[in-house]
Structure 1
Amino acid sequence: MQYEAAALGAALCWAIAGMISSAPAKHLGAIAFNRTRMVIVLVILGGYAFATGSWLSIGGPEAELLIISGFIGIFVGDTALFLTLNRMGPRRTAILFATNAPMSVVLGWMVLGEALSFAALAGIAITIAGVVLSIVFGKRRAQLHHWESITGPLWAGITLGLIAALAQSVGSIIARPVMETGVDPVAASALRVAVAALGLTALMRLPYEQFHQRGELTKRVTGRIALSGMLGMGLGMTLLLFALEGGEVGIISTLSATSPALMLPLLWATTGERPAFGAWIGAALVVGGTALIFMN
């Protein structure tokens, strides 16, 4: 049960971190926010890994795969995720990001030649239906909180969300065999985060205004970013990697994809606005479809 509890804990961490991240990500811009977040998490995880000597658990071949996984899953994936957050709000972003589960199944079929059963196909269809329902019918007219507003074209936000999910799926597939060798989860997370931090720093030095920092990095904003990073990347990702060490991949993937459902009561408690009926049904379909994919 410890691996299953860790996966559920990761989902809860990501749900809370998504809500905490919304305001500072808009204030700084997605790129600057994510770079600051990665640097803070790297200091924490890297310091722990050096203090405990867990860096020694990573050999050359494992390091190469973790670097690739970090570039795709965190640098590309997290950057697209926070661009989505700025456009779509935390609830819709969580729903879109949950599509990494069916994407993993499709990638397994395309790349590894794994068979797609009828249950898996049904699960993919149900998950997609849940995403559509949550986005189209997930807001009541009475809901006024800015988290429920959409900035820019809807298609752009959906595209970015799907890119984030795909990158997460590819990154996890690459990291999975490494974690099965017994590599320390904290050290693995630190290496992946370091790759993302370097990539984001390089991106911010390019002569494009959209990559530069927008607002001032105040103590309050830094505190929220640190809390978001410790919950999402520090605790959440480490819990997921720990869960992948000994849990069944299907069950772990299902439990870690429950963030959209866990976020709804959190949003209700935070904003005082009851989520629309379509949001509840959509989140339930996403979680149910994911379960059907991995439980067969």
Structure 2
Amino acid sequence: MRPEVLALFAAACWAISSLFSAPPAQRLGAFAFSRWRMLFASAILWALAVASGGWRSLDPSAFWLLGVSGVIGIFIGDTALFACMNRLGPRRSGVLFACHALFSGVLAWAWLGEVLWGWALLGSSLLVGGVMLAIVWGKRDDESHRWEQTRGRLAVGVALGLLAALCQSVATLMLKPLMSTGIDAVAASAVRMTLALAAHGLLLAAGWPAARARAPVRWKDAWLTFLSAAVAMALGMTLILQAMRHGQAGLVAVLSSVTPILILPLLWLVYRRRPAVGAWSGAVLAVAGTALILR
């Protein structure tokens, strides 16, 4: 598949997983939820890497880069994202996390010398603008769902969302040269996930109170967390790494930022109410931008 298509599939995985993630993340807390999620994802990825033989492509010299990427993108970035979601809900955390497309575009230009131009630049502008429009003006005036409520200080939630977006950009772009060497994407994801899980384990062992679970893990929590790990981390992150191998890093990041657009029909199912006019307008712009990019 074209790298751009893989990026869109990854965005769809993240959109679907957000509905699985919200309930257990709020109940267990961001750290405990992320820790369980990484445990499930590591088991899935290593099973696939061993079954496919992809583990043979791993070079010990690449472990440090995969480890740093995992700590930045998964340990810090994912935990910050779910802490933001617990405070602001999926919709508003989505608009903050979508900023990773902007960060990636700037960093890809600065680090990798990539420049978007022509139809790709126009399409990227429409797509990112559409995503922002869909989320910022995507709430109905009479919406009162608990996912739209603010818990704690708004500024803290915003800072966590932007931190998650920046970590996602840095962690993904730093792997672009490594993925071009032919390393197996599933095996690379398994190493990243395992080392990020180890960092979480060290934090828990250190006795930091925030790292402990807020409540005992129920079977429903475990099942939803497993689904989130399988869809978002085992599949979604592997698709992104595969897309990064053959595609332009900035463009892949822009296309993967359509997650909030794909969340709209899913939230419609949860809210049982149509999204606002702003959400539909943003979705139209995002679809037009995606079409121009794929053109």
Q: TM-score range by the shorter chain?
A: 0.7 to 0.9
CA deviation profile, 1:69-120 (whole Å, cap 9, x unmatched): 1111111111111111111111222221111111012223444566687996
Residue 123 of structure 1 contacts residue 288 of structure 1 at CA under 8 Å; is this kept in 2?
no
Is the partner of 2:141 in helix, strand or coil? coil
**How far apart, CA to CA, are the structure 2 residues paired with 1:155 and 1:286?**
27
The Cα shift of 1:180 comes to: 1.0
The Cα shift of 1:215 comes to: 1.1
Equivalent pairs, count: 294
**Which residue does 2:135 correspond to in 1?**
134
**Which residue does 1:41 correspond to in 2?**
41
Equivalence map 1:242-281=2 (5 Å)? 242-281=242-281
- Unmatched 5+ residue regions in structure 2? none
The Cα shift of 1:8 comes to: 1.6
**Which residue does 2:85 correspond to in 1?**
85
Residue 98 of structure 1 contacts residue 165 of structure 1 at CA under 8 Å; is this kept in 2?
yes
Equivalence map 1:10-159=2 (5 Å)? 10-111=10-111, 127=128, 131=132, 134-135=135-136, 137-159=137-159
Per the normalisation by structure 2, the TM-score is 0.87
Q: Which amino acid aligns with 2:276?
A: A
**How far apart, CA to CA, are the structure 1 residues paired with 2:19 and 2:61?**
36
Closer, same or farther in 2 for the Cα pair 1:288/1:32, shift >3 Å? farther
**How far apart, CA to CA, are the structure 2 residues paired with 1:89 and 1:105?**
26
User: Once superposed, what is the RMSD of the aligned Cα atoms?
Assistant: 2.9
Closer, same or farther in 2 for the Cα pair 1:122/1:13, shift >3 Å? closer
Closer, same or farther in 2 for the Cα pair 1:291/1:225, shift >3 Å? same
Residue 73 of structure 2 contacts residue 170 of structure 2 at CA under 8 Å; is this kept in 1?
yes
Closer, same or farther in 2 for the Cα pair 1:233/1:133, shift >3 Å? closer
The Cα shift of 1:191 comes to: 0.4
Residue 32 of structure 1 contacts residue 204 of structure 1 at CA under 8 Å; is this kept in 2?
no
Residue 95 of structure 1 contacts residue 283 of structure 1 at CA under 8 Å; is this kept in 2?
no
Residue 173 of structure 2 contacts residue 249 of structure 2 at CA under 8 Å; is this kept in 1?
no
**How far apart, CA to CA, are the structure 1 residues paired with 2:220 and 2:17?**
16
**How far apart, CA to CA, are the structure 1 residues paired with 2:279 and 2:154?**
17
**How far apart, CA to CA, are the structure 1 residues paired with 2:130 and 2:242?**
31
Q: Which amino acid aligns with 2:233?
A: M
The Cα shift of 1:156 comes to: 1.3
Equivalence map 1:144-223=2 (5 Å)? 144-223=144-223
**How far apart, CA to CA, are the structure 2 residues paired with 1:287 and 1:71?**
33
Is the partner of 2:253 in helix, strand or coil? helix
Q: Which amino acid aligns with 2:48?
A: Y
Residue 130 of structure 1 contacts residue 284 of structure 1 at CA under 8 Å; is this kept in 2?
no
Closer, same or farther in 2 for the Cα pair 1:115/1:141, shift >3 Å? closer
Residue 134 of structure 1 contacts residue 283 of structure 1 at CA under 8 Å; is this kept in 2?
no
Is the partner of 1:101 in helix, strand or coil? helix
Closer, same or farther in 2 for the Cα pair 1:284/1:60, shift >3 Å? farther
**How far apart, CA to CA, are the structure 1 residues paired with 2:134 and 2:247?**
31
**Which residue does 2:4 correspond to in 1?**
4
Closer, same or farther in 2 for the Cα pair 1:284/1:77, shift >3 Å? farther
Q: Which amino acid aligns with 1:134?
A: I
Residue 4 of structure 1 contacts residue 252 of structure 1 at CA under 8 Å; is this kept in 2?
yes
